[in-house]
Chain A
């Protein structure tokens, strides 16, 4: 079960906002790069996040570049799950491949600071502050297995093949 506080974002949050190109040279230094996570969308984001918190966003979260550093810095900053109305497809894959759960539900009624809990297997997210529950279909088997292994590399190492 994932439990945490909501950090709310709008539609079309690009990988340029999540992991700005001007820090390109820090890609080989993830802990430094992570200090700038989402800073062009919410300057104080990194300082506010507590371990286990969740990002809740609108449509097309993670649009733009294929940089896997975008979900990586989100994960390193302490976020346990990203919930959005929809995801850009490369970003979604990258989340699964690095073991960061990404879930699609209608996020309209979530607000910044709400407390929520999420069960990936049972397929629901509960907003404890506002007292409502939304269900979502379980991710396809292979994606769940990759997430459970902690990412694609660990999955292949464990299983011996894709």
Chain B
């Protein structure tokens, strides 16, 4: 059985098969400030209240603090609804990061009204992105309709070389599959190389599975997941979930052969090896987001940036959560970023989705550790977004052009 079949079968209490359409009870449901107000309208329209308010969450992360009165009003609408309904509201980081820190657990069925909900799949759960109406119905009725997806096995072998990271792995996969290569499917990761991918790297990988069209990405719940949950004070949430590797369709990734790569505008699948590209000047480097805004990501960047006292791009730092920000402070990494003149953002989505805090000018090029580089993504259809790892971002900030981090390691 695939990991998806194991998780959904356990929830339904019977064996399910890919292609089957069913109504599935949901363990956790959340919205963010861009999708929440519309979900609230749906919940009010249904007027049956919430099935289980304790398992519903609102995250104010996309436009925080609000740059406009319309968005401040939207935040008030969320707080006011949540207060009446007995639902918790969080304003301390990006929904996906807070879900993995506080809530997501193996075997969960998670409905998130944000497309990067698959981030939680790194903890061995079925977490997929949905729209506001699905989230509204999941909050009100406690379930969701879905077709049991087919799975695509991704076998990881070996170990990553210095200067490469999980971001290069998922860019390599998306480049290979194309932006719809996994459409309607789940990417499931297995193989002996798994043990060499730390939990932060797994979050990065599952976060971006949607960029190849996947419904979600799931990792087995193994010792790495067990240790992470224990470290979050949630050791009791751990349940083992093992892959048996029996996939009708699978691809193999040799981690030793993965090299630093970058996705060029305006498609995530437009992936090139950095060694093979022409000189590409960069104006802005963005380090952060739900893809690469964790402490381990900033540590990777710091290992390169500590070797310089000058950078040639502007640098935006966006920690994914309050706990990440605290880690940056206590490790003194933030000191170094500040000395370099970086712009430090509050925990949240930052400029990734083009709302505020770093909209690009006409013709400007940003190298970002985020997950999307679509035309207009960072607020201006006449700008250009390149996607790469934190190491590549750091090396690029130093030189002002897209640079292989190997040059600084």
Contact = CB atoms under 8 A, between A and B. Distances in A.
Contacts of B354: 16, 20-22, 24
Given A67-B34, A68-B38, A21 B377 contact: yes
A12 B269 CA distance: 11
Interface in B342-356: 353-355
Contacts of A12: 179-180, 267
Nearest to B23: A162
B179 A63 contact: yes
A152 B374 contact: no
A162 B145 CA distance: 8
Of residues A66, A88, A161, which shows the largest number of chain B Cβ atoms within 10 Å of its Cβ?
Answer: A66
Contact of B136 (A14, A27, A153, A161): A153
Interface stretch (A46-54, A89-97, A116-124, A130-138): A89-97
Contact of B133 (A26, A60, A153): A153
Given A65-B353, A66-B131, A93-B130, A20 B34 contact: no
Contacts of B77: 28
Contact of B130 (A20, A26, A90, A153): A90
A25 B291 CA distance: 24
A16 B23 CA distance: 30
Given A60-B183, A63-B179, A156 B46 contact: yes
Contact of B374 (A16, A26, A68, A156): A16
Interface residues of A, number: 40
A93 B131 contact: yes
B129 A16 contact: no
A53 B194 CA distance: 49
B360 to A, nearest CB: 11
Contact of A17 (B37, B132, B375): B375
Interface string B118-133: 0000000000011111
B35 A28 contact: no
Given A16-B354, A28-B74, A94-B131, A22 B179 contact: no
B55 interface: no
Contact of A67 (B35, B68, B136): B35
Interface in A42-96: 59-60, 63-69, 86, 88-90, 93-94
Nearest to B72: A25
Contacts of B136: 153
A112 to B, nearest CB: 20
Given A28-B37, A153-B136, A60 B180 contact: yes
B295 to A, nearest CB: 26
Nearest to B41: A153
Given A67-B35, A153-B133, A88 B183 contact: yes
A93 B353 contact: no
Contacts of A69: 38
Contacts of A22: 354-355, 359, 376, 379-380
A94 B133 contact: yes
Interface string B348-382: 00000111000100000000000010111111110
Nearest to B351: A21
Nearest to A39: B381
A27 B9 CA distance: 37
Contact of A86 (B37, B140, B180): B180
A161 B140 CA distance: 10
Of residues A40, A59, A63, A161, which shows the largest number of chain B Cβ atoms within 10 Å of its Cβ?
Answer: A63
A26 B73 CA distance: 11
B213 interface: yes
A98 interface: yes
Contacts of B62: 24
Of residues B113, B133, B179, which shows the largest number of chain A Cβ atoms within 10 Å of its Cβ?
Answer: B133
Contacts of B184: 89
B274 interface: no
B37 A27 contact: yes
B38 A27 contact: yes
A88 B210 CA distance: 9
A81 B285 CA distance: 40
Nearest to A22: B379
A120 B262 CA distance: 42
Interface string B29-55: 000001101100010011000000000
A69 B39 CA distance: 11
A64 to B, nearest CB: 6
Which 5 residue pairs of A and B lie closest in terms of their CB atoms, listed nearest first? A21-B354, A68-B131, A94-B131, A60-B180, A25-B70
Interface of B: 21, 23, 34-35, 37-38, 42, 45-46, 62-63, 67-68, 70-71, 73-74, 77, 112-115, 117, 129-134, 136-137, 140-141, 143-145, 147, 179-180, 183-184, 213, 215, 267, 353-355, 359, 372, 374-381
Given A22-B355, A153-B42, 13 more contacts: A12-B179, A14-B374, A21-B355, A25-B70, A27-B34, A28-B73, A63-B180, A64-B115, A66-B115, A68-B38, A89-B215, A153-B45, A153-B46
Interface of A: 12, 14, 16-17, 20-22, 24-29, 40, 59-60, 63-69, 86, 88-90, 93-94, 97-98, 140, 142, 151-153, 156-157, 161-162
